[in-house]
């Protein structure tokens, strides 16, 4: 009797999942537009460097967010985007100091995880999706050391999980590309690979 119930339950789950995956015409539903839409640059920005609309599209966050820098930004900065009802879904750090050491430290830190080398136009660094099963508020982490004028700043961005079906690594690369461009505009320098 129990075995029959288990088989019936499995059959019911299979039928329901098949019905959800198809529309009336029997074709597989296309992914929501938030999965297909690439990260694009547009104002306003969170932490001055991350386009808010693209961030919301990638993460499906709809709650109000406010970003705030920790003090004056002379040679470094730390910013978090806060939401009233959850942990900060976005963190951003930049500095002119210790770039090579910081990138090497992150490479060692994530050596046992799957990391992704940055595209050459972004400079030196890595991206990693931390396997957390929801235990970490910002499992997507990317860091880049690049040239900007006569200085070599680095930027790190960590953010909330992306919508299922999105390419988190590509999103990290796109967010970093925009962040470097915005950094150059704000600090009046031209970003280039390190």
pLDDT tens digit string along 85-143?
A: 788 999 999 999 999 999 999 999 999 999 999 999 999 999 999 987 678 899 999 99
34/186: higher pLDDT: 186
pLDDT at 34: 61
Q: For residue 117, which of 127, 104, 130, 106 has the smallest C-alpha distance?
A: 127
| The pLDDT of residue 13 | 35
- The whole-number pLDDT of residue 17 equals 37
Average pLDDT, the chain: 85
């Amino acid at each position: 009797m129990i075995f029959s119930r288990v088989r019936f339950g499995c059959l019911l789950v299979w039928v329901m999942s098949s019905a959800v995956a198809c529309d009336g015409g029997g074709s597989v539903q296309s992914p929501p537009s938030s999965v297909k839409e690439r990260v694009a640059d547009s104002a306003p920005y969170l932490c001055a460097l991350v386009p808010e609309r693209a961030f919301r599209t990638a993460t499906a966050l709809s709650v109000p967010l406010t970003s705030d820098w920790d003090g004056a930004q002379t040679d470094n900065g730390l910013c978090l985007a806060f939401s009233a009802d959850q942990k900060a879904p976005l963190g951003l750090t930049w500095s002119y100091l210790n770039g090579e050491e910081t990138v090497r430290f992150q490479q060692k830190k994530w050596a046992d995880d799957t990391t992704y080398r940055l595209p050459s136009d972004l400079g030196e660094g890595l991206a990693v999706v931390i396997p957390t099963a929801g235990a970490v508020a910002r499992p997507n982490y990317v860091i880049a050391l690049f040239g900007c004028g006569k200085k070599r700043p680095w930027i790190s961005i960590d953010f909330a999980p992306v919508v299922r079906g999105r390419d988190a690594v590509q999103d990290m690369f796109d967010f970093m590309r925009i962040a470097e461009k915005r950094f150059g505009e704000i600090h009046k320098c031209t970003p280039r690979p390190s």
